[in-house]
Amino acid sequence: MEVPGDTHYVFICQGKNCLTKGSAELLGQIRTALGGQQTFRVVPFICFGACTASPNIAVFPDRLWYSMVMPEQRTCVIQSILRGEEISELSANVSNDLKELVFRMLRKPFGM
């Protein structure tokens, strides 16, 4: 699968813990918010393995991570995704080792 240079993939975890903390609604809201943006693809992901910090979002190839996203933070997260900016307090809840593993895994289908 080839990734166009200007395409950003927003993967939203849909694992059991993330679902119980609102990731299905998060997926729908972000999909609606970014739906008019040609360069963004919002994709459900089975599980990142960061269950204690759910719900989780990973943006590829930007290498952005958002965890423990509460409903009142969703607008801020969407704006940060559009700007390609990390929100430090939402990315510090998951180890850098796990993030690196997930981003390495996400590169594989794109041959990167």
Give the model confidence (pLDDT) of 25-84 as tens digits. Answer: 999 999 999 998 999 999 999 999 999 999 999 999 999 999 999 999 999 999 999 999
How large is the average pLDDT for residues 17-21?
Answer: 96
> In the prediction, which pLDDT does 23 show?
96
What is the CATH classification number for the domain harbouring 59?
Answer: 3.40.30.10
pLDDT of residue 1: 39
Q: Which amino acid type is present at position 107?
A: R
The per-residue pLDDT for 2 is 45
> How many domains is the chain partitioned into structurally?
1
Q: Quick check: 86 and 64 in contact, CB under 8 A? A: yes
**In which domain, by residue range, is 56 found?**
8-110
Residue 25 lies in a domain: yes
Phi, psi for 2 (deg, rounded to 5):
-95, 135
List strand residue ranges (DSSP E) for 1-112, in order. Answer: 8-13, 40-45, 56-60, 64-67
The reply to whether 3 falls in a domain is no
The answer to whether residue 1 is domain-embedded is: no
What residue type is 9 in one-letter code?
Y
Handedness of CA 66, 97, 104, 44 (dihedral sign): negative
